[in-house]
Chains A and B, each alone.
Chain A
Amino acid sequence: DQQVKQNSPSLSVQEGRISILNCDYTNSMFDYFLWYKKYPAEGPTFLISISSIKDKNEDGRFTVFLNKSAKHLSLHIVPSQPGDSAVYFCAATRYNTDKLIFGTGTRLQVFP
């Protein structure tokens, strides 16, 4: 049973527009959420995170929104750039545990 789901395997966005990547989770005990970006032939790199006590966290062009009642989070990238083309993984965890539970990833392609 997948506890973290990314239902869109791919997304294509024009350069300069907004990219919105979505993630749903089922376990209400999760209290911290992370987004990782992965380029081919590289490991995932941490991008941005959000605690369950917040509903928004912003870092430059990247903003993560959390809707706890819907068990849904989203990553917004504005404006999108070709270098953002990568696979984006959503992950969830609980405080003071060693486990990150990952989604299957969404491949973002930003075209000129």
Chain B
Amino acid sequence: ETGVTQTPRHLVMGMTNKKSLKCEQHLGHNAMYWYKQSAKKPLELMFVYSLEERVENNSVPSRFSPECPNSSHLFLHLHTLQPEDSALYLCASSQAEGTHNEQFFGPGTRLTVL
């Protein structure tokens, strides 16, 4: 149990669908992250929220929309995705503020866009 949970674990969606990925952390952390992992590529940081404010947006297309209603929850809203968006989406959390930022990951959501 890593203390970071993600739902759903698997998602298949069409290009016209709207869906959301959910992440919850039970570690008392104050920073949360979305990563994308595609085959044979490094984990790509998508978004960072620190103290519930978005502090990083790594040139992610607007069809991905994050939401962080509180320090324990993070959402990734998806709409009009493309087949190349199929990947493993990982959520992570950490305790920011003067640390070296060891991040704790959830199990990921395996997304397939048809």
Which residues of A come within 8 Å of B, CB atoms? 2, 4, 9, 32, 34, 36, 41-46, 49, 51, 89, 93, 95-105
Majority secondary structure, A binding face: loop
Nearest A residue (CB) for B42: A102
Q: How far is the CB of B71 from chain A (nearest CB, A)?
A: 14
Which residues of B come within 8 Å of A, CB atoms? 2, 4, 6, 9, 31, 33, 40-43, 45, 48, 50, 55-56, 90-92, 94, 96-108
- List B contacts of A36 (CB < 8 A): 105
Partner of B50, one of A46, A95, A98, A101: A98
Assuming the A-B contacts A43-B107, A45-B2, A98-B50, are A93 and B42 also in contact, with contact meaning beta carbons closer than 8 angstroms in the complex?
no
- List A contacts of B45 (CB < 8 A): 99-100
* A-B contacts at CB below 8 angstroms, number: 67
CB of B42 within 8 A of CB of A51, answer no
CA distance in complex: A101, B101 (Å): 12
Assuming the A-B contacts A100-B45, A104-B41, are A32 and B108 also in contact, with contact meaning beta carbons closer than 8 angstroms in the complex?
no
